[in-house]
Structure 1
Amino acid sequence: MQKLHKLLRMGDLAAFVGIVDDGGFAEAARRRGMSASTLSRSVTRLEEQLKVTLLRRTTRSIEITSEGAAVLAEAREILNRSETLKEIATSGQAPAGPLRVNAPVPFVLHVLAPRLAEFHANYPAIQLSIDMTDTLVDLIGSHADVAIRLGRLQDSEMLHRPIGRTAWKLVAAPDYLDRKGWPEALADLARLEQVRFAAPDHINTLRFIGMADPLEIPASVTANNGEAVRQLVLRGLGVARFSDFMIADDIRAGRLVELFSGQLDAEPLEISALYLTRVSGLRRLGVFLDWLDAIQVG
Structure 2
Amino acid sequence: MGLSTVNRSGEMEIFVQAVDRGGFSAAAKALGLTPSGVSKLVTRMEARLGVRLLLRSTRQLQLTPEGRTFYGRCVRVLADIAEAEREASAGAVPRGPVRINANVPFGLHKLLPLVPGLRARYPAVDLDIVLTDRIVDLAMEGADVAIRSGILRPSRLRARKLGESGYAIVGSPAYLERHGTPRSLAELERHARLSFDFTRSVPDWQVLHEGQIVTLPPSAGVLASNGESLRRLALDGVGLTRLNLFHIGPDIRAGTLVPVLEDLNPRDTETVHAVYLGHAGPLPARIRAVLDHLVEHVTLP
TM bucket normalised to smaller: 0.5 to 0.7
**8 A Cα contact 1:163 1:271, kept in partner:** yes
**Aligned mates of 2:155, 2:268 — CA distance in 1:** 19
Query: Which residue pairs with 2:11 in the alignment?
Result: none
TM normalised by structure 2 equals 0.64
Query: Which residue pairs with 2:287 in the alignment?
Result: 285
Q: Secondary structure at the match of 1:286?
A: helix
What letter is aligned with 1:256?
Answer: L
Q: 1:114 Cα shift? A: 1.7
Query: Which residue pairs with 1:204 in the alignment?
Result: 204
**Alignment gaps of 5+ in structure 1:** 1-86
**8 A Cα contact 2:171 2:241, kept in partner:** yes
Q: Secondary structure at the match of 1:140?
A: helix
Query: Which residue pairs with 2:142 in the alignment?
Result: 143
**Aligned mates of 2:277, 2:249 — CA distance in 1:** 32
Query: Which residue pairs with 2:225 in the alignment?
Result: 224
**Aligned mates of 1:270, 1:257 — CA distance in 2:** 24
Supply the RMSD in Å over aligned alpha carbons. Answer: 2.5
Q: 1:244 Cα shift? A: 1.3
- The alignment status of 1:263 with 2:264, answered yes or no, reads yes
Query: Which residue pairs with 1:241 in the alignment?
Result: 242
Q: 1:125 Cα shift? A: 1.0
What stretches of structure 1 move > 4 A for 4+ residues in a row? none
Alignment of 1:83-98 (within 5 A): 92-98=91-97
Q: Secondary structure at the match of 2:138?
A: coil
- Shift of the 215–226 alpha-carbon distance from structure 1 to 2, 3 Å rule, reads closer
What letter is aligned with 2:132?
Answer: T
Identity %: 37
**Aligned mates of 1:115, 1:254 — CA distance in 2:** 25
Query: Which residue pairs with 1:120 in the alignment?
Result: 119
Query: Which residue pairs with 1:162 in the alignment?
Result: 161
Q: String of CA shifts for 1:259-287, please: whole Å, max 9, x gaps.
A: 12253226311111111144943112112
Q: 1:91 Cα shift? A: 5.0
- Shift of the 141–258 alpha-carbon distance from structure 1 to 2, 3 Å rule, reads same
**Aligned mates of 2:126, 2:263 — CA distance in 1:** 41
**Alignment gaps of 5+ in structure 2:** 1-85
**Aligned mates of 1:296, 1:119 — CA distance in 2:** 12
TM normalised by structure 1 equals 0.64
- Shift of the 164–212 alpha-carbon distance from structure 1 to 2, 3 Å rule, reads closer
**Aligned mates of 2:143, 2:163 — CA distance in 1:** 20
**Aligned mates of 2:234, 2:240 — CA distance in 1:** 6
- Shift of the 207–283 alpha-carbon distance from structure 1 to 2, 3 Å rule, reads same
Query: Which residue pairs with 1:108 in the alignment?
Result: 107
Q: 1:115 Cα shift? A: 2.0
**Aligned mates of 1:277, 1:216 — CA distance in 2:** 38
**Aligned mates of 2:214, 2:196 — CA distance in 1:** 20
- The alignment status of 1:191 with 2:193, answered yes or no, reads no
Q: 1:214 Cα shift? A: 3.1
- Shift of the 212–200 alpha-carbon distance from structure 1 to 2, 3 Å rule, reads closer
Query: Which residue pairs with 2:30 in the alignment?
Result: none
